[in-house]
Amino acid sequence: MLAKFIHGLSALLQQVIQMVRGAQDTPETTRYQVIPRDHHSISRQGISEPAKKVLHRLNKAGFDAYLVGGGVRDLLLGLSPKDYDIATNATPEEVHELFRNSRLIGRRFRLVHVLFGREMIEVTTFRGNPEDAKQKQSHSVNDQGRLLRDNVYGNQEEDALRRDFTVNALYYDIRDFTVHDYAQGVADLKDRQLRLIGDPVTRYREDPVRMLRAIRFAVKLDFEIAPDTAAPIHEQAHLLKDIPPARLFEEILKLFTAGQGEATYQLLQEYDLFAPLFPDTDSALEEGESDEVIRQALANTDRRVRENKPITPYFLFAALLWPALRVNWRRHLDRGEPNYQALHLAAGEVQARQSQSIAIPKRFAVPMKELWELQVRLPKRQGNRADLLLEHPRFRAAYDFLLVRENAGEDCDNLGDWWTRYQDADEEQRRQLIKSMAPASKPRKRRRRSPRTT
Ligand code: ATP
Ligand code: MG
């Protein structure tokens, strides 16, 4: 009885809100809903202390401030959010002034990071619709409609409609514990649908990275990409070529290190999104190279994430570019270059070309190449070489990579097994293992053409 009454009351309240908003000229496409505290599953306990602190302080200073994005979405799904984003009507400068532990960042999107030890809360000012704005210089697009700057401020509703997916445009108000929904995000959340707000093609043109975000969220949340949102991706995938390589690096890491890299790779391939990101690998696969090393490495990484073990981006990139490396390496061998030199040159070329699409920072690019080069050194174990290799800072990664290659079906003369035993062996057994090796100094036949790592 009481529940029925409350339900009736909340429906009435929503009607009143909609009437008031209607009077304010709300676009008809927007069906605004306020979900009261007892109609959703978010509780304050689920929100991190730093996020609550930021919300309360902004509210106390007279600003509106809401939890938004992944934080609200994940809490409603019963997941624990990776980080918290807050949207407010305070300008970045006003936010910065309120928090000593904050810094202003970004050009494309100006925002504030508030730091609490290792936790960082991202505070953004409500974005507006640039079409209506007089401040056109704050907003700029390139020829394809890509947003280069987006600093036109607006109200909460405009902010909601500038977000990417409906389920990412929900706001939690800590003052009265309500959830604000401008884009039917709650309905999509219930139906497990990932749906872009607005016209999908326009939204992908504004920011092609949204295609990658669609894949990432579909895999992470186990959602279906709504048909209208999915359909244009094949056609628009090429737009990823114009994204600044540094931004893509960050996105790629998020895609492959969230614990479901293998499924993500599969979906990227299905939507033709892998080729513009890794063009050299793509053409190697076209030439018939296998992508099993990529799949195995991603499966490995997924396992490590599940076990809370650290993961190394250079290992991932070494795998993602391995088919490209093999093709280029072979090309150098065909020119008669010695094996190690052929590998070294190919590694440099593959890395340089890749950096035009994804900027792999030096701190990962250097060890990635070392890992590759170790693949031709691992077979060379005579004398004290095996012991020297064991001390190499990249030995462990190179050994793991060798196992991945073997698992993927590459024939490496059981080298992985040998190294596994060598690492477990005592001094005496190690000498035996080296003795038991087939004499490796036997000259190899010159006409062998495929990349040689055994
Ligand atoms: P997670 O943090 O779990 O990866 P998230 O949804 O919070 O997911 P963020 O990258 O933290 O993703 O972004 C926060 C919010 O900002 C998003 O939920 C979305 O509302 C908005 N947003 C982020 N990137 C874009 C984009 N490229 N286009 C439009 N809106 C975006
Ligand atoms: Mg987030």
Reported as a single tens digit per residue, the pLDDT across 263-308 is: 999 999 999 999 999 999 999 999 999 999 999 999 999 999 999 9
pLDDT at 23 over 60: no
Confidence tier at 25 by pLDDT (50, 70, 90): very low
Q: What is the position in ligand 1's atom list of the atom closest to the CA of 213?
A: 27
CATH number of the structural domain spanning residue 403: 1.10.3090.10
pLDDT at 163 over 60: yes
Per the structure block, which two tokens stand in for 275?
Answer: 């080729």
Least confident of 219-223, 423-427, 442-446: 442-446
pLDDT at 3 over 80: no
Looking at the structure, do residues 9 and 134 belong to the same domain, yes or no? yes
Looking at the structure, do residues 161 and 20 belong to the same domain, yes or no? yes
Q: Which of these three, 199, 228, 247, is where a domain ends?
A: 199
Q: What is the mean pLDDT of the segment spanning 434-438?
A: 81
Question: What pLDDT, on a 0 to 100 scale, did the predictor assign at position 128?
Answer: 87
Looking at the structure, do residues 317 and 424 belong to the same domain, yes or no? yes
Question: Does 209 map to a domain?
Answer: no
Catalytic annotation, residues: 83, 85, 164
Q: What is the mean pLDDT of the segment spanning 391-420?
A: 94
Question: Does 367 map to a domain?
Answer: yes
CATH number of the structural domain spanning residue 65: 3.30.460.10
Q: Report helix, strand and coil shares of the chain as percent, to nearest 5.
A: 55, 10, 35
Least confident of 58-62, 160-164, 443-447: 443-447
Looking at the structure, do residues 187 and 46 belong to the same domain, yes or no? yes
CA–CA gap between residue 449 and residue 332 (Å, rounded): 10
Question: Does 409 map to a domain?
Answer: yes
Looking at the structure, do residues 189 and 328 belong to the same domain, yes or no? no
Tell how far the Cα of 307 is from the centroid of ligand 1, in angstroms: 26
Q: Cβ(327)–Cβ(345) under 8 Å?
A: no
- Who lines ligand 1 at CB under 6 A? 69-70, 82-83, 85, 163-164, 168-169, 207, 209-210
User: How far, rounded to the nearest angstrom, does the alpha carbon of residue 122 sit from its chain's CA centroid?
Assistant: 17
pTM value is 0.87
Domain that holds residue 170: 2-199
pLDDT at 343 over 90: yes
Per the structure block, which two tokens stand in for 317?
Answer: 């990139």
Tell how far the Cα of 71 is from the centroid of ligand 2, in angstroms: 6
Looking at the structure, do residues 317 and 171 belong to the same domain, yes or no? no
Question: What pLDDT, on a 0 to 100 scale, did the predictor assign at position 438?
Answer: 64
Question: What pLDDT, on a 0 to 100 scale, did the predictor assign at position 437?
Answer: 81
Q: Determine the length of the chain.
A: 454
Inter-helix orientation angle 313-320/362-377, to 10°? 60
Question: What pLDDT, on a 0 to 100 scale, did the predictor assign at position 131?
Answer: 64
Q: What is the position in ligand 1's atom list of the atom closest to the CA of 163?
A: 30
CA–CA gap between residue 230 and residue 410 (Å, rounded): 36
Q: Which of these three, 170, 199, 228, is where a domain ends?
A: 199
What are 364-375's pLDDT values in tens digits? Answer: 999 999 999 999
User: How far, rounded to the nearest angstrom, does the alpha carbon of residue 204 sit from its chain's CA centroid?
Assistant: 17
Confidence tier at 452 by pLDDT (50, 70, 90): low
pLDDT at 37 over 70: yes
What are 72-131's pLDDT values in tens digits? Answer: 999 999 999 989 999 999 999 999 999 999 999 987 678 999 999 999 999 999 998 766
Question: What pLDDT, on a 0 to 100 scale, did the predictor assign at position 19?
Answer: 44
Question: What pLDDT, on a 0 to 100 scale, did the predictor assign at position 106?
Answer: 86
Confidence tier at 177 by pLDDT (50, 70, 90): very high
Looking at the structure, do residues 304 and 177 belong to the same domain, yes or no? no
| Segment (H or E) for 3 | helix 2-23
Ligand closest to CA 250: 1
Least confident of 114-128, 291-305, 396-410, 437-451: 437-451
Confidence tier at 442 by pLDDT (50, 70, 90): very low
Question: Does 235 map to a domain?
Answer: no
Question: Does 75 map to a domain?
Answer: yes
Per the structure block, which two tokens stand in for 6?
Answer: 């409350």
Confidence tier at 140 by pLDDT (50, 70, 90): low
Q: What is the position in ligand 1's atom list of the atom closest to the CA of 73?
A: 6
Q: What is the mean pLDDT of the segment spanning 40-63?
A: 96
**Who has greater pLDDT, 435 or 448?**
435
Question: Does 379 map to a domain?
Answer: yes
Q: What is the mean pLDDT of the segment spanning 391-416?
A: 94
Mutate to test the pocket of ligand 1, among 77, 159, 163, 181 (most ligand atoms within 8 A of CB): 163
pLDDT at 10 over 60: no
Tell how far the Cα of 306 is from the centroid of ligand 2, in angstroms: 20
> Beta partners for 150?
139
Looking at the structure, do residues 57 and 163 belong to the same domain, yes or no? yes
Q: Which of these three, 174, 199, 224, is where a domain ends?
A: 199
Least confident of 193-207, 274-288, 338-352, 411-425: 411-425
**Who has greater pLDDT, 131 or 415?**
415
What are the two backbone dihedrals, phi and then psi, of residue 252, each rounded to the nearest 5 degrees?
A: -65, -40
Question: Does 211 map to a domain?
Answer: no
CA–CA gap between residue 203 and residue 229 (Å, rounded): 10
Question: Does 121 map to a domain?
Answer: yes
**Mean of all residue pLDDT scores within the chain:** 89
* Residue 452 DSSP class: -
Instruction: List, as ranges, residues with CB under 5 A of the ion ligand 2.
Output: 69-70, 83, 85
Looking at the structure, do residues 160 and 293 belong to the same domain, yes or no? no
Looking at the structure, do residues 304 and 404 belong to the same domain, yes or no? yes
The total of structural domains in the chain comes to 2
Per cent of the chain over pLDDT 90 is 79
Looking at the structure, do residues 282 and 168 belong to the same domain, yes or no? no
Tell how far the Cα of 440 is from the centroid of ligand 2, in angstroms: 53
**Which residues make Cβ contacts (< 8 Å) with residue 44, sequence separation at least 6?**
52, 174, 177
Looking at the structure, do residues 292 and 396 belong to the same domain, yes or no? yes
